[in-house]
Structure 1
Amino acid sequence: MRFADYAKMYLKAGDGGPGMAHFRREKYVPKGGPDGGDGGDGGNIILEGNSQMNTLLDLRYKKFLKAAKGQPGGSSQKTGKKGKDVILGVPLGTVAYESETRRFIGEVVEHGDQLVVARGGKGGLGNTHFKTPTNQAPDYAQPGEPGQEVTVEIELKLIADVGLVGFPNAGKSTLLSALSAARPKIADYPFTTMEPNLGVVQMPDHRSFVMADIPGIIENAHEGKGLGIQFLRHIERNKVLLFVINAMSDIESEFSILCAELEAYRKDLMDKPKMAVITHMDLLPEFKLDKEVALDIPKLEISAVTGYQTDILKEHIWKLLNENQKVRY
């Protein structure tokens, strides 16, 4: 299934049903008072969290959605039927914005969470409500309120414990496949990973955590270069950031560029717990760097191909996650 993390839709919630202007008429009550019922509320359009979904692909092709109108009120003060809601299943980690203003509507992070993105109009009041001592027979009722019309942008931000951040071909996909059962595409050319991949890392004593391989970041990605910012949003949901850097590169320079890109995209990303992983150590003599590397975060040299220090890496990640249990997605 193709990964999709963005959808834009025009939504029209249901209009409220009109109230009824009606008078009670029975055999022995020829001039009964007003008994018009209220109109039903219009249907809402709702996003509902579904833990079995992992993409917004189903919404990509739904450009226009309309909920049902509320039914008119009836006689004998009967309220009209509410318009049926439109409920759209979405993956956990979905957020919604109003398109024109980028007003934040809400987010869905738990299975079964519901977020109303377009609210139906209220049903109109029947003429029963307008009876007064000086107006015993009101012959009017309220129309229903119109349902909300809005163009929304829906984005998916992957929820994972650990996010792999690095340049193209840093070895992120290889690391993910070595630590988990995920099998992302791996090749020796830039931008092999064109979409995020998730993998569950299993550890002894029934411990596990979820790791996300984010497509490679290059300098000025926050301005749209390379794959641009469409995947930077996924890093927002990760509890721990793992900077993956190729041992054959200028490690300090790459780390500095990656930090600058994350900070330019969103400053508080750099407040998350972080660790640097130097990969491809199997390409160096005796698995040792040829010079000392100074980074301001913990680092570990590994080889995903040979398994060199990968078990130690898992334990380091587990410790970071447990030391920062209160970190929000």
Structure 2
Amino acid sequence: MTEGNFVDYVKIHLTSGKGGQGSTHLRREKFVAKGGPDGGDGGRGGHIIIRGNTNLWTLVHYKFKRHFKAGHGGHGGKQTSTGANGEDVILEVPLGTVVRDTETNAIIFEITEEGEEKIVLKGGKGGLGNSHFKSSTNQTPRYAQPGLPGQEKQVILELKVLADVGLVGFPNAGKSTLLSVVTSAKPKIADYEFTTLKPNLGIVKHRDFQSFVMADIPGIIEGAAEGKGLGHYFLRHIERNATLLFLIPADSKDISKEYEILLDELRRYNPELLDKQRLLAISKSDLLDEELMEMMRTELNKDFKEIPYLFISSVAQLGIQELKDKLWTMLNG
């Protein structure tokens, strides 16, 4: 999937169908001169429904078409026949999609299961036919109800990537390179910050034909929780990950400080993110010799007593299998 096709945020305009009008028909048959009212009810207007689909990974199909209108209900007929219901509009979205109201920014609902259907806008109710209004004092009512109008709303579809492992780190920490090595994904890789502007997903193949999904998320900068840089556009993707893999390069000036900054950004955005499992990977470890690595290990043992860590190098394939084994154990332990 190319970066331009990964669409994770769209605004769409929705209109449900209006209800059909009730009938004012009066029964007329041979030998029944005055049969009385037999007008049927109008059909309901079409709903706007959102359905989860596991075969979708992005909202790109809503990139160019953003207006959706359901069908109107049919009018009531004679012999108390009800009008046809308006045609529903079903919008299919990837799992992990959040539907928000554009005016209040409130979450209307979330889609997290295959085939899960939820109505965003209900169609208008059909009007009652004149057969409902007959009485002993009014035996031939010549009026019926009009159908109720449909609803109109603008909503935001916001995709939060569903992945087992989310890569967390500063720009240029080597996240895209790691993803390209452990999966078949082909993210854009270059020697400058913010090469990755959209999340990339890849399937990590493990032993015995087992696999899990890893997401490369654009790099965090200080102030991201307040929306600085790419801000909320990527932090929301971390919410769906079961395990967070923190990636800090071996040539970093202070690994502990960088880790604390990353952790603080997650805490400020959503404190619940700190409840997730965490693993620290020191990337670009091919730059270290045995002596430097041992010195670094001594420091890390002091600072990271509760969080497991390991040294890796995507280029030199150092510690990659160990990393996959550790992640698999964390995900399935």
TM-score by length of 1: 0.94
Matched AA of 1:175: L
Give yes or no for contact 1:8–1:60 (8 Å, CA) kept in 2: no
Q: How does 1:175-186 map to 2 (within 5 A)?
A: 175-186=178-189
Q: How does 1:246-265 map to 2 (within 5 A)?
A: 246-249=249-252, 250-265=254-269
Q: How does 1:183-202 map to 2 (within 5 A)?
A: 183-202=186-205
138, 141, 147: which is aligned to 1:138?
Answer: 141
Partner residue in 1 for 2:90: 87
Q: Larger % of helix: which?
A: 2
Partner residue in 2 for 1:326: none
Q: How does 1:130-169 map to 2 (within 5 A)?
A: 130-169=133-172
Q: CA RMSD in A?
A: 1.5
Q: Deviations over 1:3-25 (max 9, x none)?
A: 11111122110011111122211
Separation (CA, whole Å) in 2 of partners of 1:210 and 1:58: 23
Pairwise CA distance, 1:54: 1.9
312, 316, 325: which is aligned to 1:306?
Answer: 316
Q: How does 1:9-88 map to 2 (within 5 A)?
A: 9-88=12-91
Pairwise CA distance, 1:109: 2.3
Separation (CA, whole Å) in 2 of partners of 1:193 and 1:175: 13
Partner residue in 1 for 2:289: 285
Matched AA of 2:293: K
Partner residue in 2 for 1:273: 277
Pairwise CA distance, 1:263: 1.3
Give yes or no for contact 1:6–1:60 (8 Å, CA) kept in 2: no
SS at 2:158 equivalent: strand
Separation (CA, whole Å) in 2 of partners of 1:210 and 1:160: 5
Separation (CA, whole Å) in 1 of partners of 2:245 and 2:251: 18
Matched AA of 2:75: P
Separation (CA, whole Å) in 2 of partners of 1:140 and 1:247: 81
- Number of residue-to-residue matches in the alignment: 323
Pairwise CA distance, 1:289: 5.4
Stretch moving more, 157-166 or 287-296: 287-296
Partner residue in 1 for 2:332: 322
Pairwise CA distance, 1:67: 1.3
Give yes or no for contact 1:127–1:138 (8 Å, CA) kept in 2: yes
SS at 1:216 equivalent: coil
Matched AA of 1:317: L
SS at 1:231 equivalent: helix
Q: How does 1:103-252 map to 2 (within 5 A)?
A: 103-249=106-252, 250-252=254-256
Partner residue in 2 for 1:102: 105
SS at 2:327 equivalent: helix
Stretch moving more, 124-133 or 276-285: 124-133
Matched AA of 1:252: S
Give yes or no for contact 1:18–1:125 (8 Å, CA) kept in 2: yes
Matched AA of 2:280: A
Pairwise CA distance, 1:63: 3.2
Matched AA of 1:51: T
Q: Deviations over 1:96-121 (max 9, x none)?
A: 11111223222222332222222111
Q: Deviations over 1:7-47 (max 9, x none)?
A: 11221100111111222111211111221111111111222
Matched AA of 1:206: F
Change (3 A) 1:189 1:290: farther
Separation (CA, whole Å) in 1 of partners of 2:89 and 2:36: 38
Matched AA of 2:37: P
SS at 2:55 equivalent: coil
Change (3 A) 1:155 1:314: same
Pairwise CA distance, 1:159: 0.7
What percent identity do the matched residue pairs reach? 56
Q: Deviations over 1:191-249 (max 9, x none)?
A: 11111111111111121100000010110012222222111111111111111111111
